[in-house]
Amino acid sequence: MKNTNSIGLDNQKSQALVASLNTLLSSYQIQYMNARGFHWNIKGRNFFELHLKFEEIYNLLLEKVDEIAERILTIEGQPLHVFSDYLEQSQIREAKGISDGTQALENLLTGFTTLIGMQRIILAEAGEAEDEGTAALMSDYIKEQEKLVWMLKAYLN
């Protein structure tokens, strides 16, 4: 019985990574929809700048959704693809009825902090599995989002 997948990773460790990546994928999908909703529903004095910022953020999130799903496929897993699974697995909750800029930014800040924590765990799991592709992806995301967290906090203060 073959213990590695077609890219040379341990099957058992890869499947554990698939489970973690699917939870991350689910969390990204909810964060994406939250940002999209904030973009559509924002009101108030900072409408113009926040409307644009939320669009920038949801486009970044959407790109990562696709990259995570493709990484899952690369390590021979099956990405989740129905919203009911996303809602069940996500570590980020839906944000409903938010049109206040400060509340929306605080929600996104909390979500990105959650994503960073999840990605650090996956980074460690990928290291143990000798999965450089997943580790590199997580490292890139962490670096980008740490800066975004700093900027969101600076804007809110």
Model confidence, pTM: 0.96
Contacts 24+ apart (CB under 8 A), 42-51: 42/99, 42/101, 42/104, 43/99, 43/100, 44/99, 44/100, 44/101, 45/101, 46/101, 47/101, 50/101, 50/104, 50/105
Is the CATH number 1.20.1260.10 carried by domain 11-156?
A: yes
Would you write out the chain's pLDDT as a tens digit for each of its 157 residues? Answer: 579 999 999 999 999 999 999 999 999 999 999 999 999 999 999 999 999 999 999 999 999 999 999 999 999 999 999 999 999 999 999 999 999 999 999 999 999 999 999 999 999 999 999 999 999 999 999 999 999 999 999 999 9
Q: Where are the alpha helices (DSSP H) in the chain?
A: 11-41, 47-74, 83-89, 101-128, 132-156
